[in-house]
């Protein structure tokens, strides 16, 4: 099924405007933007806390950044971006061991995250663990070689390799973080999201993921973005990673219709019809008067595959 283009209903700027409130749209990543909001909002709005943390990092207030990202992780403990940013906050305070732990946790969630691998390698170099830093550098170089300068991550990979190489060279000073790391322009986030939706509907999932990661770097763990990241990974056959992102979306917004539908579809693809029926029951509860997400998932279950 082609992902529903939410932007036909509203631009992602509307999402950006919603970040000041912990009440989420229950749709997204599968339609329904602007529907009934979740009535089970988290104590902390992780998107607002994430943006506060980014602002604190940019201002050099690492203690405040640590607090803000801790609030994000209270709601979304497996969000790779938040884990990486917490690592940067720890590093800014001089807690390199603490930073290393958070970068490692980020990579367990998303082994493809360039930022976490870059900063982990730089931290390892700074703490005298050159062998381990070189291992991370080799991983980055292997990805760069496979990319051959033509993939969406080419520039970030080159910057990461340069930074780690500098950190491993005693006479060179490694940069603290990539320039793109602290991107906070909402307009740039909007453009990344718009581009991602277009790419998803064209079936260009790898490129869509790069665009979605750009949006997430701006807006933090927004459930619509997380749901689309899960969807793109699922379409690429990365079921475990897709499940991780669907779960993250639902931890932030338990009544998110898009994440619930797509998670149910993933269960059908895996042969877990009982789990899919549970997700359908959840949708039937959320959608008191019916909704497209419930009907789509019902068809998946009836057919046992994508209808």
Averaged pLDDT, 117-138 = 93
Point out the domain boundary residue: 109, 138, 164: 109
Angle at 186 between CA 119 and CA 82, to 5 degrees: 35
- Res 226: pLDDT: 93
- Res 24: pLDDT: 41
Q: Which domain holds residue 83?
A: 44-109
Point out the domain boundary residue: 109, 133, 159: 109
pLDDT tens digit sequence for 56-85: 988 889 999 999 999 999 988 989 999 999
Is the residue at 150 inside a domain? yes
Averaged pLDDT, 194-198 = 86
Same domain assignment for residues 116 and 157: yes
- Res 83: pLDDT: 95
- Res 157: pLDDT: 92
Is the residue at 149 inside a domain? yes
Is the residue at 17 inside a domain? no
């Amino acid at each position: 099924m082609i992902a529903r283009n939410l932007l036909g209903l509203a631009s992602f700027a509307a999402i950006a405007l919603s970040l000041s409130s912990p009440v989420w749209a229950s749709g997204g990543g599968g339609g329904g933007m602007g529907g009934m909001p979740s009535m089970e909002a988290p104590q902390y709005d992780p998107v607002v806390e994430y943006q506060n943390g980014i602002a604190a990092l940019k201002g050099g207030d690492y203690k405040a950044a640590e607090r803000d990202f801790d609030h994000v992780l209270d709601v979304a403990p497996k969000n790779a971006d938040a884990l990486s940013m917490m690592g940067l906050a720890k590093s800014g305070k001089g807690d390199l061991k603490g930073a290393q732990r958070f970068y490692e946790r980020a990579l367990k969630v998303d082994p493809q995250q360039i930022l976490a691998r870059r900063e982990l390698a730089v931290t390892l170099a700074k703490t005298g663990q050159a062998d381990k830093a070189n291992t991370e550098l080799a991983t980055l170089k292997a990805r760069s070689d496979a990319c051959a300068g033509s993939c969406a991550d080419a520039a970030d990979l080159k910057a990461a390799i340069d930074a780690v190489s500098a950190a491993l060279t005693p006479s060179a000073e490694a940069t603290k973080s990539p320039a793109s790391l602290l991107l906070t322009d909402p307009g740039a986030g909007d453009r990344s999201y718009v581009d991602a939706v277009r790419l998803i509907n064209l079936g260009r999932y790898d490129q869509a993921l790069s665009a979605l990661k750009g949006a997430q770097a701006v807006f933090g763990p927004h459930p619509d973005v997380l749901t689309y990241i899960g969807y793109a990974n699922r379409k690429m056959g990365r079921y475990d990673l897709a499940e991780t992102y669907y779960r993250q979306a639902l931890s932030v917004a338990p009544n998110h219709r898009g994440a619930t539908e797509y998670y149910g579809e993933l269960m059908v693809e895996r042969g877990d019809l009982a789990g899919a029926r549970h997700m359908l029951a959840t949708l039937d509860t959320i959608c008191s008067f019916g909704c497209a997400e419930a009907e789509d998932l019902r068809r998946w279950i009836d057919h046992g595959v994508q209808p």
